[in-house]
A and B are shown apart, each in its own frame.
Chain A
């Protein structure tokens, strides 16, 4: 073994974002901003009823309005074929948000369904003309109320990969006999992702109509490519989808919503490029958000605080056209050991905009209910909530009966308690005060599974000693491009400055949807495979070359560092990529690779965890809640980039504070219309709502994942609403089980 000191690699360094300069100078190009000649502008007309049939659609006023080129309705739209729906067709991960054949049907399935597209010379003309389209409907009875439709709730076959009803032992029986118990209903309202970039599609057909280029604000370029190829009967390779910069997604751009294919159809008819940017109202109406949930959590414990029953059941809403279950029972499958467990999720079908995944689908509302309940039980028993969690920490995954690949929750709580000063907290509610402000502290656990999906990448090592890698991955602000550049640099033994990562283009090798916090490890493993391929090729050149000091070496006898290949047994013997490629008169060496999750995902329970600490100040007179301190201590494997990962966690916590205190899509149950479809009335947290969130991470690698890493995008929002609610209880003595925790609920 050589005792050479290994230079620290790029992984683990807090590099600033590779796209930072473009973003701060306004030069990052988002979908609606590509300069395309002769572009026409589109605007949507939305249905104003929730269920029925279009009896008549009067378009003449719109058609005759200045600048209007086309009014596309179900009467004149080209055929768009049915394609697989995301999540509900298990054989294929389609990008379509629902099976509704927009503009190929006169049926109306939800209030806000696009029923016409107006295309005009200018944006102003298109938007104005859209207001002139008059639709007459034959209305049908719509199903709009979760509570009312509960008797017809269905038990889905599965909730992404897991049983929708799971019983171990007799949880209800144990609950009935328990010494200590809590049994409550928790509700969460509908949420909207509300990425600040409005959804945009810019479609350009070739003259022969055989190929299509689409600039789209999407988290799934390959999915949109496949969907459009099928919808318009094109060869997949003739459809190119580009989404280099995406202005936030959070799940809201993971499916292709109605406007995507409608823009493509309109461009086909007018034989010109068409750009369509949804209005903010259009985002709320036609892009689904997170379903509301009604959850029951019941916990029972024996005299020493060991759980004897854990029940987590409830309802979410969805539509006949997408069937997406928000898997809120996932955290309860992995967080606590209990003698008896019962988990069950049912779905109610309504006539609403199809729901979809939003940051930590399931885990986000699920941790609110579960982690509130744990706090309630701790209070009931007079045990510190961190201690109660520790007493129920499982050694193996409770429902899968598998070992954990890594799990350091107790350590996260230990570190967090010390950093936060948890010991100074008063356990009795309403006992800390600063003038008219009641002060309270709460904790909750964050949880998100570690997912890896199949992905592919290609890499080029250039004669000048630089390298690029490509994959159809996405960068919506997660820092993926920066993290993958770090990975690439380390794989090839180059410096961070010598490499570049290209993404967001369906011409690049396959990458999965940016969802489930999978990108870092899915694409990371593919980049490694592509680098291995390139490294073997370049070693193949020198291994039998008389001119090379590496002649006669086997691949496992060399290492790649400092821009070249060197013998492991003699660090002085080697040569640079530059020298090798120049000698062989090659300008580059290419490598390709694919990766998929290995058998370990079946043999281990793989998750990420966090310990959250929150302090609130509640105005006793107005009921206003301010989050004054927040600390997240995360156990998410090896952190590739501490700077960008910390931003991800802070961003998730910020969204969690919104979920806890301010956010709620208001739904008119008579008409099925969302009545606050704007950023003025759907309240995202603003700068002053968010304290100086502190982040700490354990940085303990997962021995079983690529780079030892886990994704970190989703976990940030999990547990936050519970940490806030638990702190509010500690401050006020009021337990709020119905989000958001608005002033009225505290007065």
Chain B
């Protein structure tokens, strides 16, 4: 075809080996350094549970866990995340056993179209860890407070980086409470 060029070699020259540890499995990839972690997951590893909604860190659909902390994977280059433990939505359940939060999302109807859901769930899991570690949020009254109440306002504020255009916020908050309230009270 006349439109085709012979760019194949150049393409190969621009890639570097990248090893990603995702959901406990090692993936050896050959990627251009400019490939985002999100695109590496979706287009190169084939884990499409993590979603692209804006590609600029504004919607949270691409949220994954890195060493148990939440990040926007669209905002991260895959090469930066070698030797880190990456968990995507595909790694949240234990084989057939759903994570308590996944089950609660179904029960509380914490989604409609389901597109932002993997990001919401990953985000909420790490959000709860942040809460347990006593990290304050913008609605925490006193920054030095040691006992923060796991209140609706705290959950809402801490989950406001994950947009849901279907507007399932009420169900999302309910699901988070159902999954984590008991543990938060301890």
Contacts and interface: CB of A to CB of B under 8 A. Distances in A.
Contacts of A671: none
Interface string B18-30: 0000000000000
Nearest to A270: B1
B51 A643 contact: no
A125 interface: yes
Contacts, number: 219
Contacts of B34: 124
B143 interface: no
Interface string A668-702: 00000000001110001111111011000000000
A654 B109 contact: no
B56 A680 contact: yes
A678 B1 CA distance: 37
A280 B7 CA distance: 28
B107 to A, nearest CB: 6
Interface string A529-545: 00000000000000000
Given A26-B118, A68-B7, A648-B112, A248 B106 contact: no
Nearest to B33: A124
A23 B111 contact: yes
A65 B32 CA distance: 14
Given A478-B112, A688-B156, A196 B61 contact: yes
Given A26-B118, A197-B53, A688-B156, A679 B171 contact: no
Contact of A25 (B61, B102, B113): B102
Interface residues of A, number: 78
Nearest to A657: B167
A680 B58 contact: yes
Interface string A1-43: 0000000000000001101111111111110110100000100
Interface in B108-154: 109, 111-118, 121, 139, 152-153
Contacts of B61: 196
Contacts of A249: 113
B117 A122 contact: no
A309 interface: no
A63 B5 contact: yes
A685 B10 CA distance: 45
Contacts of B181: none
A19 B168 contact: no
Nearest to B52: A198
A146 to B, nearest CB: 26
Contact of A692 (B50, B51, B152, B167): B152
Interface in A191-207: 193-198
Nearest to A277: B52
A507 interface: no
A71 interface: yes
Contacts of A196: 51, 53, 59, 61, 113, 115-116, 163-165
A650 B49 CA distance: 25
Contacts of A280: 53-56, 58
A724 to B, nearest CB: 15
A269 interface: yes
Contacts of B118: 24, 26
Interface in A158-172: none
B81 interface: no
A685 B50 contact: no
Contacts of A122: 11, 32, 43
Contacts of B167: 647, 650-655, 685, 690
A685 B113 CA distance: 17
B170 A477 contact: no
Q: Which of B43, B88, B153, B170 has its CB near the most chain A CB atoms (within 10 A)?
A: B170
B106 A67 contact: no
A226 to B, nearest CB: 25
A577 interface: no
B7 A687 contact: no
B169 A687 contact: yes
A37 B151 CA distance: 48
A35 to B, nearest CB: 7
A67 B10 CA distance: 8
Given A70-B4, A280-B53, A654 B169 contact: yes
A248 B7 contact: no
B54 A679 contact: yes
A546 to B, nearest CB: 48
Given A24-B89, A123-B39, A477-B166, 4 more contacts: A25-B90, A66-B7, A690-B167, A692-B170
7 contacts: A123-B43, A124-B34, A245-B113, A280-B53, A651-B168, A685-B167, A687-B155
Interface of B: 1, 3-5, 7-8, 10-11, 14, 32, 34-35, 39, 42-43, 46-59, 61, 88-90, 92-93, 98, 102-103, 105-107, 109, 111-118, 121, 139, 152-153, 155-157, 159-173
Interface of A: 16-17, 19-30, 32-33, 35, 41, 63-71, 76, 121-125, 193-198, 245-250, 269-271, 277, 279-280, 476-479, 643-644, 646-648, 650-655, 678-680, 684-690, 692-693
3 shortest interchain CB distances as A-B pairs: A26-B49, A654-B167, A477-B112
